[in-house]
Amino acid sequence: MKASFKRVLYLPTLLVCCQLAYCMLGSILPANAQSADSLVKLKNANPQQRARMQSDLMKTRLALSDAQYKQVAALNLAYALKIEPILKSDDSKFSKYGRIKPLLEEKDEKLKTVFTKEQYDKYDAVKKEIMDKMREFNKYSN
């Protein structure tokens, strides 16, 4: 299979991975039926619910202070609200990915100003780990 063709096939997977990595930070999914139920619940959650889940997981996983939690919760909600219309649009998955990715990168830059270096490094590592898990999950669920 040509490399460019592979990239096109994996773009929907990457879009899902990006969405879920940000929504489920701190929750490494096992490949079982329970995780599939979690994914369905997450997919059906509204922006406020997703932002709350993400903020709570960040607080636990990154040991955020109360002040950091308030800042992170505000950022998570703001970006969940920005991303929601894109997710709900009739655009192709490729187009959605192209529109969401810069928003998530912008959000990461803002999170860098809230987190300590150690917290951000852990956030980044967990985000990568989740994306790897999601790729594995998608490999067997398609």
Domain that holds residue 22: 3-141
Average pLDDT over residues 90-112: 94
Query: Which tokens hold the place of 141?
Result: 């669920």
Q: Please tell me which residue, 68 or 34, carries the higher pLDDT value.
A: 68
Whether the CB-CB separation of 53 and 45 falls below 8 Å is answered with yes
Q: How long a stretch of residues is the chain?
A: 142
Terminal CA-CA length for the chain: 18
Averaged pLDDT, 45-60: 92
Radius of gyration of the chain (CA): 15
pLDDT digits (tens, 9 = 90+) for 113-127: 999 999 999 999 988
pLDDT of residue 74: 98
Considering the chain, what percentage of its residues have pLDDT values greater than 90?
49
Q: Tens digits of per-residue pLDDT, 23-50? A: 444 333 334 445 556 666 667 889 999 9
Q: Are 21 and 86 in contact (CB under 8 A)?
A: no
pLDDT of amino acid 40: 66
Handedness of CA 23, 29, 31, 33 (dihedral sign): negative
Could you report the per-residue pLDDT of 81-96, keeping only the tens digit for each? Answer: 999 999 899 999 889 9
Domain count across the chain = 1
